[in-house]
Amino acid sequence: LYGIKSKTALLNAERSGRIPEAQRDEKNFRKWLIADLPAIGSLYGPIEKPKDFKFTVLCVFTVKGGVLKTTITYVLARLLALHGLKVLIVGNDPQTSITQVVLNPLVKNKSLEDLPKYSDLGDIIFEDIPLSEVIQKTNLPTLDLLPETKALSEVADTMATLAALAASKGKPEATKGRHEYFAEVLNPLIQAAGYDIAIYDNGPGLGALSENALYASDYWITPNACDQGSYQVFEENFNLVLDFARRKNKSWRRIFLVPTVKETTNLSKQIYGTYLTKFPTYVTSASIRNTVKAQEALALGASPPEVFLESDIGTDFMELTLEIWNEILKNQKG
């Protein structure tokens, strides 16, 4: 996972206390716990966090569904966390997609209804519940989840109602616009809690929740499938978001258009080529193939590079993560 070639270097790092001490199994083999991996990754992995790294917010959003938004959110968050960055996934979809991905592998044979009661971002923003009381832990000490509930649709209505009420009184400054709550309320709380990265996972459709996430983010990641259905609606949907950004005077440091569900068929290749031709400024060099292995890894509560290290899909996700990370570092230095 980290490209470590020297066993001696690893053992020396353990003896000097630079990485956690390995456990011993019944056959006396050395084994590290999953929780130890971020410490090892921060020392040996290809993703290095500079000392002056600035808090960064990513938004994964596409108007259309079925394009691997939640998969990319989880894998990107996990790979960054495996390298020692402190990452918070923010669930922002009333369908609770990312919450089910993150929590279900940790509670076998249980549904979300069987979990202890938890809150969502709406309770933090409008009920003043501390962030620390809402976040859910994972098996990595550097990766947490701000879970979502089905009540998020009511949160969106509240944002819109408050903004409309203020505008009707001729005092738009009396409350935030419906797109500003995450930027002005939630992000500062996440940053103050010591997170390096926040990643908003969104459902399809442009509404108050996704507008908040887009407005609050430094980078917009928009996965788009290399299939006919996605291609037919992509340009219109893409321009819909750009129109929102223009109206709100919002710009991102970079838009990452990620080709996903890529296959070896002629049609898939043609659509991929069209993305490259029409949107060369945005399309990432890395693309994600269509394979069941990605979903198999998520079912195990892991990322494809952890489970299928030598596979193409593992390489796809690692290359995408490095491309996004290197762009973030370049912009912070610039």
Residue pair 244/206 in contact by the 8 Å Cβ criterion: yes
The pLDDT of residue 164: 77
The alpha carbon dihedral of 214, 220, 225, 229 has a sign of positive
Q: Which amino acid is located at 300 in the chain? A: L
Query: What is the C-alpha to C-alpha distance for residues 68 and 290, in angstroms, rounded to an integer?
Result: 10
The pLDDT of residue 175: 54
The pLDDT of residue 119: 87
Residue pair 52/196 in contact by the 8 Å Cβ criterion: no
Is 55 strand, coil or helix?
A: coil
The pLDDT of residue 106: 54
Q: Which amino acid is located at 74 in the chain? A: Y
Q: Is 133 exposed, middle or buried (0-12, 13-18, 19+ CB in 10 A)?
A: exposed
Q: Which amino acid is located at 129 in the chain? A: I
The pLDDT of residue 113: 65
* Cα pseudo-dihedral 258, 262, 233, 249, rounded to 10: 0
Written as tens digits, the pLDDT of the chain (334 aa) is 888 888 888 888 889 999 999 988 889 888 899 999 999 999 999 999 999 999 999 999 999 888 999 999 999 999 999 999 999 999 999 999 999 899 875 555 556 666 666 789 999 999 999 999 999 999 999 999 999 998 898 998 888 888 777 767 665 554 568 899 999 999 999 999 999 999 999 999 899 999 999 999 999 999 999 999 999 999 999 999 999 999 999 999 999 999 999 999 999 999 999 999 999 999 999 999 999 999 999 988 899 999 998 899 999 999 999 999 999 999 998 7
The pLDDT of residue 110: 58
Cα–Cα distances (Å) from 145 to 59, 78, 319, in that order, read 15, 11, 24
| pTM recorded for the entire structure | 0.93
User: 10 Å Cβ neighbour count for 177?
Assistant: 21
Task: Measure the N-to-C terminal CA separation of the chain; round to a whole number of Å.
Answer: 30
Cα–Cα distances (Å) from 35 to 20, 80, 99, 228, in that order, read 10, 14, 20, 42
Greatest extent of the chain over all pairs of C-alpha atoms, in Å: 74
